[in-house]
Amino acid sequence: MQASRWSPATGTLGAITAEAEGRAAALQSRRLELERLSHAAPPGPSLRAALSGHTVSVIAEVKRRSPSKGVIAETLDAVAQATAYAAGGAAAVSVLTEPAHFGGSVDDLIAVHGLVALPTLKKDFHVSDLQLLEARALGASAALLIARAIDPDQLIHLMRVGRELDLELLVEVRDEDELERALAAGATMIGVNNRNLETLEIDPATCDRVIPLIPSHVIAVAESGVRTRDDVERYAAIGADAVLVGSSLSASADPVAATRAIAGVARRNRGR
């Protein structure tokens, strides 16, 4: 995908990305500290390895609110929630660190990483190498990159920074062009989001269309709209290796049981 075919994100994604750029700029004064901490921190357990088992892995998300749903679980305790996910059979924990729209913080990531043995995904709107340095310094196993939010050259740059830091990266896409760009940048894990983050609308056919196109050596993660075991079974049938589940698990009165209910679905290889 050529840079000329990319334009800055609009709508909700555009607004949150602009705010993320401001948060990233605020880290500039800490660059030397973050470089030192990121190189000193031991690597977290591999997210990619955790998603490579015989069942469709569950990445369970700590999520207090969102632009699309509003308040989900405002008083949610990140460590208690992540511990419940682990007990229910989750393969990894996604921790939202975006503060204004999702109610997250880096303190949540620090706490979960320190007390829960599962790989942690730092879920945020990462636009700068400074944010990846921060993720590595905080002990995250991986960080999210949203292809629609990052210009093509910056995506390539951030993928290179991730490799240099030994920080795994999950690249989120929503169509074939973004998939092509993610693969060209060297993505080894790709999340396909049914939700258009610019309009916040969900198109359930997005995963159906894009996941079968992901090469079999690349981990494919279905995102948005996963609530039941039937949903996981449907994504298994199209070749998903994992599902990322946030709202339904975070809102559950029994997150152990809710996680257990969607874990353990047999994984099916994507044919090529």
Task: Give me the helices (H) in 1-125, please.
Answer: 11-26, 31-40, 47-50, 78-88, 99-102, 106-115
**b vs e for 164-180, b when ≥16 Cβ sit within 10 Å of the residue's Cβ?**
ebebbbbbbbbeeebbe
Q: In the structure encoding, which two tokens stand for residue 174, read together?
A: 């929503």
Active-site choice (63, 94, 128, 194): 63
63 in active site? yes
Give the relative orientation of helices 229-237 and 255-262 as an angle to the nearest 10 degrees: 30
Contact 65, 103 (CB under 8 A): yes
**224 part of the active site:** yes
**SS3 call for 237:** helix
Query: Is 74 annotated in the active site?
Result: no
Active-site pick, 193, 196, 247, 248: 193
Which of the residues 66, 224, 247, 248 is marked catalytic?
224
Spatial distance between the Cα atoms of 42 and 63, rounded to a whole number of angstroms: 26
How far apart CA 142 and CA 181 sit, in angstroms, is 19
The yes-or-no answer on residue 123 being catalytic is yes
Catalytic residue among 98, 134, 168, 223: 223
Catalytic entry in 98, 168, 172, 178 = 172
Is 193 tagged catalytic? yes
Q: Which of 38, 57, 61, 94 is an active site residue?
A: 61
Amino acid identity, residue 214?
Answer: I
* Crossing angle for the helix pair 78-88 and 106-115, to the nearest 10 degrees: 50
- Integer angstrom CA distances of residue 112 from 50, 126, 170: 17, 20, 19
Out of 66, 123, 134, 248, pick the active-site residue.
123
DSSP 8-state code for residue 148: G
Residues taking part in catalysis: 61, 63, 123, 172, 193, 223-224
